[in-house]
A = this chain, B = another copy of it.
């Protein structure tokens, strides 16, 4: 039927060899100009040997960064994966601000979740929302948006052997009155689409007759609440959209448009280097974006937003559209589950360093709905001493300590972070320093008090991981690799020694590697903060941004679409049709 078997085979080859996707495509869509072709020699690894026993059922809740990278990595046919999510696709969320203004199309940033799982893993998908997790009966209860069967029943339950919770978070309104009803959020693809049509609507409304100047100005006043990366990127995208594209079509609106950014803290982009913050604030001022720092929103109604300055003054601003992007809150299903397992007073599910939910069996949580409860060194200090002191002499020799050192660094990553922050090269420096401080100069042995005093500061380095796609994706990949090698590692554990038990942990704990962060600032300029606090701002970072975001796409399809969207924008500008 379809005469393009060649293309299909090519597309298949791309799918089978994810490593191909490391190459950045620039001109794949050109007529016939496909640049890469590779003979298909399937070479799946053999660890997924089919067993005769019943497959273990993994239920995965959520198809965001964490869920998708789990699915993309899992490569063991002894599992049967049941994915449950209200969205049957993965969305590349860092491009959502671009979708709000049509720089990139919504469909270019989504990929059907069924395409993401590997071929040798039996995967099925249910488009439904989980509303209750019951760890006792090992069931999750779900609800479909539509009537399911002839009786209109919408609810059903699903059993699991392993449960992976990756439902993400929701926007946090801080219970400020009127926010829920009057503001746009920017978490989902649909949000971005709604914002896009609301922007166009505002321009069309302001073009209608029978309005005075003040009313038109109100309609074209766009307020962004929250000076984090998303809010800042949306504000600059909107500024570019208005100035590069919309003023051509709505010339009368040019002097009426106003973009205001409200931030409760003293600066925007506080998670970035000071240089980036300064550059961004200056650029926004030059661009005419009104940045109001130290402004705390207190109330929103259908036409006005009220904000309080630090001095306590409340000012009320008329607006046409508000985009609310201030942080994340807990989803009801997670709140309910936390209550059940005695974590009711937390913001997110607490897991151990292997992403297992504390107090539950075979339940894992990752991404924005979870936080890792890193074990403190000082809580375990007696056990650590005991474990290291093999001779039971009551003192540790340096040699004894060195033997367990790598296990301790594995188990307590804060130790390494602390050493790094102090500019020390090894644990020996730390011990020596402690001994020197204690006035002791035995260079050979140390007792438990000396060990305590050496390590008492390291736990200050325990930090919560940021709620970003990068963390979620690394967690998903990590967990899938653990699942892949569950049986192998059961027999040959490869983790650090158990401090409070016997033997070793099956796996090494999850370790986050920060690869840097971008803050696009509009006008083809981006700020980039890369590992080692390397800061780059300007047009070159914009090109780095393009390359990284193109290469990070989850499929060749979205990669080609995103790149061609960017080119389309360069050539033809953004579309302003209200669909």
Contacts and interface: CB of A to CB of B under 8 A. Distances in A.
Nearest to A113: B577
A114 B576 CA distance: 10
Contact of A570 (B4, B110, B126, B189): B4
Given A88-B200, A561-B568, A156 B576 contact: no
Contacts of A89: 577-579
B570 A7 contact: yes
A4 B240 CA distance: 14
A34 B578 CA distance: 29
Interface in A9-50: 10-11, 26-27, 29-34
Contact of A567 (B29, B212, B243, B577): B29
A208 B156 contact: yes
B106 A579 contact: yes
Nearest to A111: B577
Contact of A31 (B10, B107, B128, B567): B567
A148 interface: yes
A127 B249 CA distance: 13
A550 to B, nearest CB: 12
A252 B4 CA distance: 25
A443 to B, nearest CB: 62
Nearest to A212: B149
A201 interface: yes
A575 interface: yes
B577 A107 contact: yes
Contact of A576 (B29, B32, B34, B112): B112
A189 B561 CA distance: 21
A115 B111 CA distance: 32
B124 A193 contact: no
Contacts of A126: 207-209
Contacts of A3: 524, 539
A91 to B, nearest CB: 8
A571 interface: yes
A210 interface: yes
B210 A243 contact: no
Given A7-B571, A126-B208, A557-B575, A244 B1 contact: yes
What is the copy number of this chain in the assembly? 2
Nearest to A571: B7
Contacts of A568: 29, 557, 560-561
A34 B567 CA distance: 11
A205 B573 CA distance: 38
Contacts of A149: 210-212, 215
A3 B107 CA distance: 26
A204 B88 contact: yes
A465 interface: no
Nearest to A563: B31
A172 to B, nearest CB: 24
A332 B463 CA distance: 65
A392 interface: no
A316 to B, nearest CB: 15
Contacts of A33: 27, 30, 33
Contacts of A575: 107, 110, 112, 557
Given A148-B205, A564-B29, A571-B10, A244 B2 contact: yes
A225 to B, nearest CB: 22
Interface in A166-223: 189-190, 193, 200-201, 204-205, 207-212, 215
A105 B89 CA distance: 17
Interface in A204-261: 204-205, 207-212, 215, 240, 243-244, 249-250
Contacts of A340: none
A398 to B, nearest CB: 59
B107 A579 contact: yes
Residue among A33, A102, A243 facing the most chain B CB atoms (10 A cut-off): A33
A272 interface: no
A87 interface: yes
Nearest to A150: B215
A16 to B, nearest CB: 15
Contacts of A200: 88
A390 interface: no
Contacts of A115: 249
A158 interface: yes
A153 interface: yes
Contacts of A124: 207
A11 B144 CA distance: 47
30 contacts: A1-B240, A1-B523, A2-B523, A2-B570, A3-B524, A4-B570, A4-B571, A7-B570, A8-B571, A26-B31, A29-B29, A29-B567, A88-B204, A89-B578, A102-B107, A107-B579, A112-B575, A112-B576, A114-B249, A127-B207, A127-B578, A144-B205, A148-B210, A149-B211, A149-B215, A158-B209, A193-B579, A557-B568, A560-B571, A561-B568
Q: Which 5 A-B pairs have the closest CB atoms?
A: A30-B30, A27-B31, A89-B577, A127-B204, A557-B572
Given A27-B31, A148-B211, A149-B211, 9 more contacts: A8-B571, A87-B577, A88-B577, A105-B105, A112-B249, A112-B576, A125-B207, A150-B215, A557-B568
